[in-house]
Amino acid sequence: MKEATAEFEAWRASVPLNAIDVPSVRSNGYAFQVETDHRAVGLGLRIVEVPIRFGERGSGASKPGLRAQFESALVP
């Protein structure tokens, strides 16, 4: 997987989300996606990326700051 913090994720209805134990997830924000993906892979589930194209940012700044990047790196 190239992008662990994609803005959109879809899960098959057949995926047992209770096996991922979402209530015990300790992180939030972008790290939440990293942690749940890590758990899914640990359960043998397959993650498939679907490429999308983003237009150039017209204004503003990227939301994931250094703190979010650091938190994502530390989540097991």
Q: What is the pLDDT of residue 12?
A: 82
44: left (phi over 0), alpha (psi -120 to 50) or beta: left
Within a domain: residue 7?
Answer: no
Residue 62 has pLDDT above 70, yes or no: no
Residue 41 is classified by DSSP as H
In the structure encoding, which two tokens stand for residue 32, read together? 């939440």
Within a domain: residue 28?
Answer: yes
Confidence of residue 30 (pLDDT cuts 50, 70, 90): confident
Q: pTM above the 0.85 mark?
A: no
Residues of the domain holding 68 = 17-50+64-74
Task: Tell me how many domains the chain contains.
Answer: 1
Q: What is the pLDDT of residue 63?
A: 65
CA-CA distance, 4 to 8, in Å (whole number)? 10
Within a domain: residue 27?
Answer: yes
